[in-house]
Amino acid sequence: MTNKKRIIVLIVGLILLVMITFLALGLHGRNQGHKTSRSQTKVTTSSLPKGVKSTDWDLVLINKQHPENQEISFTQAQVGDKVVNQKIQQSVIDFMAGAKAAGYETTLVSGYRSIEYQKEVFANVLANNENNGESEEKALAETKKVVQTPGSSEHQTGLAIDLAGNDALAKYPGLTGEMDQFASQRWLIDHAPEYGFILRYPKDEASIKETGIDYESWHFRYVGVKNAQYITKHHLTLEAYLKALKAREAS
């Protein structure tokens, strides 16, 4: 083969190599685009659980934007020395039993709290912040980050619980996000949806902005198994989930 022919073959080979490379990159880019699209369309009105309505009893929303200043009437039931809505009594018992079977003893720190009791909780945390040297304004702001104002706490529904692994609670009796350092607390967080609960206040910034409450590794809210699994799988807050349900209902 002459040098001229060798050069022509080399040039053609390089051209083919470049074309193949661009083709491969193009396919990869399209595949990546499809992946992104699937990720972005996971939470659509058509993908939401069938038969669920934003007005269902287990999806009642109470927060700072949707306060309830009157005591809520429901049938109360005991779990140990704590009170919960009777509709979730067995779910709480099963949740704690599941943790025990996995090797973790737990304590139900709190269940139902009346508006009057919430006033006491809020006042105590506020006073503690002020006693720690914070200004009145800062103490109030810091308190609102971790305690719902009276009338804005979902504990008054009887559907929310504060549940902690005994070892985590022993180290952090005041309840802090750092309790998730313990395997017991991580088990509760990971397995909550199996019993119809969600971790109500996740730690990512978007969730904190939506809920208005800082990360709480101990606060679980009953929403039903179907809802809990969907909310957790799609990394939603209850607020975001209800917004999606209402959008479906309006369409």
pLDDT reported for residue 42: 58
* Same-domain status, 12 and 132: no
> Which pLDDT belongs to residue 144?
87
Identify whether residues 146 and 161 lie together within a single domain: no
The tally of domains found in the chain comes to 3
Q: Residue 38: its pLDDT value, please?
A: 27
Based on the fold, state whether residues 174 and 245 are members of the same structural domain. yes
Per-residue pLDDT of the chain (251 residues; tens, 9 = 90+): 555 555 554 554 545 554 544 444 443 333 333 332 223 235 777 899 999 999 999 999 999 899 999 999 999 999 999 999 999 999 999 999 999 999 999 999 999 999 999 999 899 999 999 999 999 999 999 998 888 889 999 999 999 999 999 999 999 999 999 999 999 999 999 999 999 999 999 999 999 999 989 999 999 999 999 999 999 999 999 999 999 999 999 99
- With respect to residue 49, please indicate whether it lies within any of the assigned structural domains: no
For residue 215, the model assigns a pLDDT of 95
Number of other residues whose CB lies within 10 A of the CB of residue 94 = 14
Within a domain: residue 246?
Answer: yes
User: What pLDDT is attached to residue 220?
Assistant: 98
52 within domain boundaries: no
Q: Residue 197 has what DSSP assignment? A: E
Same domain, 170 and 208: yes
Q: Can you give the residue range of the structural domain that contains 231?
A: 57-113+153-250
* Residues counted in the chain: 251
The type of residue at 2 is: T
Q: Tell me which DSSP letter residue 150 carries.
A: T
Contact 245, 224 (CB under 8 A): no
146 domain residue, yes or no: yes
Q: Are 30 and 105 contained in the same domain?
A: no
Tell me: do 164 and 210 sit in the same domain.
yes
Farthest CA pair distance, the chain? 97
In a shared domain, residues 148 and 185: no
- For residue 13, what pLDDT is reported? 53
Residues 6+ apart with CB under 8 A from 194: 98, 225
- Paired with 164 in beta bridges are 107
Question: Where do the H-state alpha helices sit in the chain?
Answer: 3-40, 89-101, 115-131, 136-146, 166-171, 183-191, 205-211, 225-233, 238-250
Q: What is the pLDDT of residue 18?
A: 44
**What does the alpha-carbon distance between residue 107 and residue 25 come to, in Å, rounded to a whole number?**
54
Which residues are tagged catalytic? 216
pLDDT of residue 24: 42
Shared domain check, 226 and 107:
yes
Per-residue pLDDT, 2: 58
Using alpha carbons, select from 156, 163, 159, 154 the residue that is nearest to residue 87: 159
Same-domain pairing of 96 and 178: yes
By CB atoms closer than 10 A (0-12, 13-18, 19+), residue 78 is exposed
Cβ–Cβ under 8 Å, residues 52 and 227: yes
Tell me the three-class secondary structure of 72-112, residue by residue: CCCCEEEECCEEEEHHHHHHHHHHHHHHHHCCCCEEEEECC
Give the global pTM.
0.79
* pLDDT value of residue 147: 83
105 with 179, same domain: the answer is yes
Instruction: Mark whether 26 and 80 lie in a shared domain.
Output: no
Q: Between helices 115-131 and 136-146, what is the axis angle to 10°?
A: 130
Do residue 178 and residue 213 come from a single domain? Answer: yes
CATH number at 162 reads 3.30.1380.10
